[in-house]
Amino acid sequence: MRILALAAFSLIAHTFAEFPEYSHPVMAWVPPYGVAKAKARLAESFGGVGMADGLTHLALQFWAPTKAGGIERVSKYGELSDATIAELRTTANARGVRVMLCVYNGVDQWDWPLARAAFIDHRDKFAAALIAEAKRLDLDGIDVDFEGNGSLDADKAPFVLFVKTLAERVHAAGLELTVDSFSYIWNAPNQTWWKDLLPLVDGLTTMGYVETGASAKAWRAFAAQKAAAGEHGAKLMIGLPTDKADWQGGKALAHLRWLRDNGVGAALWDAQLDSAAWRTRDVWTTLREVHTPR
């Protein structure tokens, strides 16, 4: 995957919404360049079933790290105001959907040195900044979407240490934590990091999208990803491209039914639902079945 004033919230504890239990997380992202379209989709009904029926989490990809260990609101695509965030949070929370602060390192390019400056050079400060902003805006958790190209396994240990530090503080604050990872062995974070990451987090997105599928072969198969997650397979959210009607030899609904039938969550990039195939009653009924406890 490759933003009413809320000043008063900085003075009070996180306000806990009432959320239903879920068996497997189902998350979609609001990208900083697609806020209006995503808001419209969230309000849409697809034969009496909407996005809020199929989602457990909505991630707002509105923040980037700073080299000094802080965070800043993305401004490249226009203002992402506190009021916009409050509206999205209120709408989602009212339907039982958790809203996540998503921090990413790809405003202009996927900048791994920028991510490293945050999670290695300023680990504690960066973790504190994320939690403070989530609490100030009364959000329900944090999603870390750091992506690096190339052979970066030397950064696995410090990244895991950062996630451990953040997880302890996030969970102490009553929030949830998810991370995003490449779906196989290349780039960073990647599948070889899952064994250390999955015990720490509440959900892990696998970023394969059109490169992986329910009936694909070898490492591209959804089954291969579930096997790699081992005992933590229920936390896995397999990445699905909502701008495509079919990929890897199957239609969107067939991929979703595999997730439902095999006990795995879903990660939808993104909430704009550009393909009409994703704007149907069957899709959102199936996604509801993915996360509903049995």
Q: What is the CATH number of the domain that holds 210?
A: 3.20.20.80
Q: Work out the mean pLDDT of the chain and round it to a whole number.
A: 94
Band (pLDDT 50/70/90 cuts) for residue 18 is confident
- Flag whether 6 is in a domain: no
Q: In angstroms, rounded to a whole number, what is the distance separating the alpha carbons of residues 158 and 205?
A: 20
Task: Look up the domain containing 253 and give its range.
Answer: 23-291
Global pTM exceeds 0.85:
yes
Is position 186 within any domain? yes
What is the maximum span of the chain, computed from C-alpha positions, in angstroms? 52
Q: Specify if 8 maps to a domain.
A: no
Give the tens place of pLDDT for each residue, 28-70. 999 999 999 999 999 999 999 999 999 999 999 999 999 999 9
DSSP state of 154: G
Burial class (CB in 10 A: 0-12, 13-18, 19+), 133: buried
In a domain, 277, yes or no: yes
Q: Is residue 4 situated within a structural domain?
A: no
What is the predicted pLDDT for the residue at 168? 98
Share of the chain above pLDDT 90, in %: 93
Residue-wise pLDDT tens digits, 117-141:
999 999 999 999 999 999 999 999 9
Looking at residue 17, its pLDDT comes to 59
Question: What's the rounded Cα separation, in Å, for the pair 265 and 226?
Answer: 10
Kindly state whether residue 42 falls inside one of the protein's structural domains.
Answer: yes
The total of structural domains in the chain comes to: 1
Nearest Cα neighbor of 128 from 98, 188, 173 is: 173
Provide the pLDDT for residue 294. 85
